[in-house]
Amino acid sequence: MGCQYFEPTDDGATTFTVAMPKLTFGRGALSDTGARAAAMGIKRIALITDGILESGPLVSIVKESMNSAGIETLVYSDIRIEPDDDTIMRTAAFLKDARADGVISVGGGSVIDTAKGALLIERHGGNIRQYFAPPIGEGKPIPGPVAPHIACATTSGTGSECTSISVIRVNEFNTKFVIASPYLLPDRAIVDPQCCDSLPANVVASTGFDLMSHALECYTARAYTSHLNIDNPDNRQLIQGANPFSDLSAREALSIVGNYLARGVADATDHEARDQLMWGASLAGIAFGNSGTHLPHAMSYGVTHLMTDITTKDYQVPSPFVPHGISVIVSAPAIFRYTAEAQPQRHLEGAAFLCADNKGATPDDAGEVLSTRIIELMRATNIPNGLGGVGFGAEHVKALAESSYRQSRAIANAPRESNLTDLENMYSNAISYW
């Protein structure tokens, strides 16, 4: 694969690995979960969901399916949106008491990430804090497999059902960090687009921008060949940089966003658009699960760390709360203006997949063309106008940069290097776009 973007480099990786769960996609997939669990040898299953979904139709479908398959189901729903270390430890305690043969998670990224973290503690013990990289934790390696996990996504954004990553808020630092291990990859991913039929418009919008940013970050990430080769290939993290497989998924996901995001937000009865967005979310999840994200996700962590007194309409979460997709996208146009000079062709292609009009654009225009198209989509779907739209101003830029600068691994996956001052400049340029 020694051509163009993936040109070999001195000491760089020469191979890449593709991992994903066995994925089932389509309307009706939730009704088959019982038969799938039974085929995995599960007789008693822990169903992890959130307090809102618990009494709704999607969890009922799964419970009925388990019942029909003769599987006993124990439900746990005391889940915090954007789960913290306490949520993980509480859920792990439930799993230990439940003595189930496996877990089915039904929800958005918060629920699925909680299940991943709790499965780790249930099987291998200790405190979730120990598994974070220093200085947050001890960098304790995840020693081996966890119990079987069937992950059912209910929003068209997270992609967590297809990744080996769990994002957890660490209360002592009041910010989110990532735990990643191939052992956290769910065994089955179930993606049923009927889950999106009743989602409010701005939930489809914010999760849609999460999916868009996953795909754009994968497509513009450093090539896997520029990441250091490692002696034991089995120790390779799946955050390995852009590769031909993540490109494949990211391209299709971006084209879905370009064609269907505005339609899916505008009209809940537009099943074609919403089904496509659900498929795009899984594709983008597969892409970033095998390449890793970079600056837009790294810099979203400062936003969710420092947000105050803000909530978003149609999210039943107490203040302060900025949905993940919005925390990512408010800085993204300014970030891609910064990163474009390192890989202009990839930024121009990303814009083209998003249906930008880039006729006659030169490499010097790449950052502007891509950020203009992102801003068009933000305006078409009523997304807040940059950091100013979620309560931040110039006086917060320094603190935002200091907070996000700790996400060193994601920052290092960006196509262009950045120091603390560069992050401050990107945040300054993200305060308002129109």
**Smallest distance from the beta carbon of 328 to Fe ion, in angstroms?**
6
C-alpha closest to that of 25 among 153, 217, 170: 153
Q: Output 90 or 305, the one with its CB closest to Fe ion.
A: 305
Residues at the interface with Fe ion (CB under 5 A) = 210
**Smallest distance from the beta carbon of 210 to Fe ion, in angstroms?**
4
DSSP string, 187-252: SEEEE-GGGGTT--HHHHHHHHHHHHHHHHHHHHSPBGGGSBP-S-GGG--S---B-HHHHHHHHH
**Smallest distance from the beta carbon of 156 to Fe ion, in angstroms?**
12
Q: Output 210 or 247, the one with its CB closest to Fe ion.
A: 210
What's the token pair of residue 318?
């107490």
Q: How far apart are CA 51 and CA 53, in angstroms?
A: 6
**Smallest distance from the beta carbon of 216 to Fe ion, in angstroms?**
11
**Smallest distance from the beta carbon of 70 to Fe ion, in angstroms?**
37
Q: What are 263-268's contacts with CB under 8 Å, separation 24+?
A: 264/156, 264/196, 264/204, 264/208, 265/201, 265/202, 265/204, 265/205, 265/208, 265/380, 265/381, 265/382, 266/201, 268/197, 268/198, 268/199, 268/201
Q: How far apart are CA 103 and CA 37, in angstroms?
A: 9
Which residue's beta carbon is nearest to the bound Fe ion? 210
Q: Output 47 or 153, the one with its CB closest to Fe ion.
A: 153
Tell me which amino acid residue 273 is. A
What's the token pair of residue 368?
């502007």
Q: How far apart are CA 105 and CA 187, in angstroms?
A: 12
**Smallest distance from the beta carbon of 134 to Fe ion, in angstroms?**
24
Q: Output 34 or 83, the one with its CB closest to Fe ion.
A: 83
Q: Output 209 or 427, the one with its CB closest to Fe ion.
A: 209
Q: Output 128 or 329, the one with its CB closest to Fe ion.
A: 329
Q: Output 50 or 54, the one with its CB closest to Fe ion.
A: 50
- CA torsion 87-140-157-371 (nearest 10°) is 120
Residues whose CB is less than 8 angstroms from the CB of residue 361 and which lie 6 or more positions away in sequence, other chains included: 348, 351, 369
Q: Output 192 or 210, the one with its CB closest to Fe ion.
A: 210
**Smallest distance from the beta carbon of 105 to Fe ion, in angstroms?**
17
**Smallest distance from the beta carbon of 288 to Fe ion, in angstroms?**
8
**Smallest distance from the beta carbon of 297 to Fe ion, in angstroms?**
6
Q: Output 54 or 210, the one with its CB closest to Fe ion.
A: 210
Q: How far apart are CA 112 and CA 190, in angstroms?
A: 12
| 47 beta partners | 75, 104
Residue count of the chain, please give it.
434
Q: What are the percentages of helix, strand and coil residues in the chain, rounded to 5?
A: 50, 10, 35
